[in-house]
Amino acid sequence: MAALILALVIYIFVRNRMAARLKKAHEELKMAYDRLEETTAAKERMESELRIARDIQMSMVPSVFPDIKGQPLFIYTDGLNEAENKELQQFGDEHLLDLLRHTPFSSARQVIELLSAEVEAHRQGAEPNDDLTMLCLRIAP
């Protein structure tokens, strides 16, 4: 009889210990599941925002490109047209277009150097407020 009682006590002890471990594992699993749900929701939000951004960008890209063979092509980042002077006045799209329209193209280097000098003159010593990247090339006919 004592052996039976001892076996029962051991069984109850082990059962309670396993129940506590199971409860702890269940709580940890629930926390991991909650974190996974949060991560999944954040990922879905980012994917949605990226889809929207892609759609906006794709709507800006023309479906038909003009024939620019033999013509210069000038590509730049917003650090050019949004370059500010000490009075926070921007270099501006119109000023940029005016320079490009009225400057004879002799080489890509000449265009880049001219625009770099113009931006520096516009800044009047003000620190750059953005990075500036320019690319100029002529597409062979």
The per-residue pLDDT for range 44-71, each reduced to its tens digit, is 999 999 999 999 988 888 888 788 888 8
DSSP 8-class letter at 111: H
Query: Does one domain contain both 3 and 38?
Result: yes
Does the pTM exceed 0.75?
Answer: no
Last residue within a domain, chosen from 16, 33, 61: 61
Q: Is residue 99 part of a domain?
A: yes
Same domain as 39, residue 94: no
Does residue 67 lie within any of the structural domains? no
Indicate whether 82 and 37 sit together in one domain: no
- Please give the span between the terminal C-alpha atoms of the chain, in angstroms, as a whole number: 104
Kindly tell me if the per-residue pLDDT of 6 is higher than 90. no
Check whether residue 47 and residue 11 sit in a common domain.
yes
Per mean pLDDT, which range of 11-25, 59-73, 75-89, 91-105 is the poorest?
59-73
Q: How many domains does the chain have?
A: 2
Q: Quick one: pLDDT at residue 89?
A: 94
Task: Record the tokens describing residue 73, joined without a space.
Answer: 């092509």
Is beta strand 134-138 parallel, antiparallel or unpaired with respect to 72-76?
antiparallel
Distances (CA, A) of 69 to 73, 112, 138, 141: 9, 20, 8, 5
Range of the domain at 41: 1-61
Is the pLDDT reported for residue 87 higher than 90?
yes
Q: How many CB atoms lie within 10 A of CB 119?
A: 20
70-78 mean pLDDT: 91
How much of the chain exceeds pLDDT 70, in percent?
A: 100
**How far apart, in whole angstroms, are the C-alpha atoms of residue 83 and residue 126?**
9
Beta carbons within 8 Å of 55's beta carbon, 6+ residues apart? none
User: What mean pLDDT comes out for the span 11-28?
Assistant: 93
Same domain, 100 and 55: no
